[in-house]
Amino acid sequence: NNEKLNLSHSEIDDRIRESVEVVGLDFDDVKDRSPFELSGGQRRRVAIAGVLAMKPKVLVLDEPAAGLDPRGKDEILNQIKALHDRHGLTTILVSHSMEDIAKLVDRIVVMSKGSIALVGTPREVFAEADLLEDIGLDIPHIAKLMRRLRERGMDVPEDIYTVEEAKEAILQLKRGEDNA
């Protein structure tokens, strides 16, 4: 609402155009389209653009990838990360998906029954797998896989929670075997 922000119509138009492009959409492509003609991921990005046009200091997103297909989910999560990285926008994500969290965040605050149960980097938080399970959360699937590999005698690090880290650890282990 331009009265609340005290902006002219041209300033509003500029902000909208800029925000739509910041979230990775082509303004001219989406400006005249019905929301029903957009994919789920595009609709989410348009919604985020609407908030960004107001130039917030903090962006709070509640389950931003829920209900999207894998491609739409990756698109929206990559866009959120890019907003944070390129524009320095503080972003708070609310999510039950530890895979999403593992890929995106610098810091995790785990809530349980209205209180803070755990705070730390993803590495620190995912090291507390038993506590997370007690709360009803999970660790990323790749972290579970790495735990199982360790239980079966493979010498892989304990603090791996992304596919990229797991790949590198397994390749390193393989290189070590090849050189032995």
Average of per-residue pLDDT across 168-173: 89
Most confident of 2-11, 72-81, 123-132: 123-132
| Predicted local distance difference test score (pLDDT) of residue 116 | 94
CA separation, residue 40 to residues 16, 67, 123 (Å): 20, 8, 31
Q: Which tops the pLDDT comparison, 103 or 156?
A: 156
Q: How confident is the model at residue 1 (pLDDT cuts 50, 70, 90)?
A: very low
CA separation, residue 57 to residues 48, 54, 102 (Å): 14, 9, 23
| Predicted local distance difference test score (pLDDT) of residue 95 | 87
Helices (H), the chain: 2-5, 9-22, 27-30, 40-52, 70-87, 98-104, 122-126, 129-135, 141-151, 163-179
| Predicted local distance difference test score (pLDDT) of residue 73 | 81
| Predicted local distance difference test score (pLDDT) of residue 3 | 52
Q: What is the pTM of this model?
A: 0.70
Average of per-residue pLDDT across 94-99: 84
| Predicted local distance difference test score (pLDDT) of residue 2 | 46
| Predicted local distance difference test score (pLDDT) of residue 180 | 66
pLDDT in tens, 56-78: 888 898 988 888 788 778 888 88
